[in-house]
Amino acid sequence: NAGVTQTPKFQVLKTGQSMTLQCAQDMNHNSMYWYRQDPGMGLRLIYYSASEGTTDKGEVPNGYNVSRLNKREFSLRLESAAPSQTSVYFCASSESGTLKGEQYFGPGTRLTVT
Amino acid sequence: AQKVTQAQTEISVVEKEDVTLDCVYETRDTTYYLFWYKQPPSGELVFLIRRNSFDEQNEISGRYSWNFQKSTSSFNFTITASQVVDSAVYFCALRETSGSRLTFGEGTQLTVNP
């Protein structure tokens, strides 16, 4: 099993460009998440999908959109990138939306917006 | 609102020393889960442990041990006889009953020197 995979691993964008970060999991998990990690701030939740067909905003959703394409895939789109979106982005999945399910993380995408 | 505080931003020890990473949390829920994750220099996040709010037993796994004290809202992590491979950023996280969101602390950078 590959677990959680993310593409691309690195990306440089110019301000105003758009891009989609891809995430897929092969663990048959219902719930998927997108986080951003910034120095000194831990990980902050951008959006999550408790199950296929549903998405909800997290702590920092502004400037992002998501699509839960199917049970396996959950993409994150930046419509008009800004330097403040320079960050490391992590996708995660968990068995269900239940309280105890630990989340499994992908390797991350390092995004720089110039 | 839930909050996780890891007051130690950076800790540096010499190999074979014991080290404790502190985690203090805030929540209004009576049912919740606490987690520890490790982020080595390679960048991925590795799940270490999950503890529910009704189980205050300490847990030991090899050189790792966790001390959960509900009375002080703390969930501290101790590494015994530290090794260079323990060098990483360690995150404490909290998940409440009321949502799917995992709230992370800011992380503690542990450096173990030979």
- Residues A19-68: tens digit of each pLDDT: 999 999 999 998 899 999 998 778 999 999 988 889 999 989 999 999 99
Res. A97: pLDDT tops 70? no
Q: What percent of chain A has pLDDT over 70?
A: 96
Instruction: Count H helices and E strands in chain A, helices first.
Output: 0, 11
> How far apart are the CA of A81 and the nearest CA of chain B, in angstroms?
23
Res. B72: pLDDT tops 70? yes
- Residues B27-48: tens digit of each pLDDT: 988 888 899 999 999 889 999 9
For residue A76, the cross-strand partners are A21, A66
According to the model, what pLDDT value does residue B100 have?
64
According to the model, what pLDDT value does residue B56 have?
78
SS (H, E, C) chain B: CCEEECCCCEEEEECCCCEEECCEEECCCCCEEEEEEEECCCCCCEEEEEEECCCCCCEEECCEEEEEEHHHCEEEEEECCCCHHHCEEEEEEEEECCCCCEEECCCEEEEEEC
Q: Residues of A at the B interface (Cβ-Cβ below 8 Å)?
A: 31, 33, 40-45, 48, 50, 56, 58-59, 88, 90, 92, 97, 99-100, 102-108
According to the model, what pLDDT value does residue A96 have?
67
Q: Report residue A113's pLDDT band, with 50, 70 and 90 as the boundaries.
A: very high
Q: For the residues A1-30, what does the mean pLDDT come to?
A: 94
For residue B96, the cross-strand partners are B32
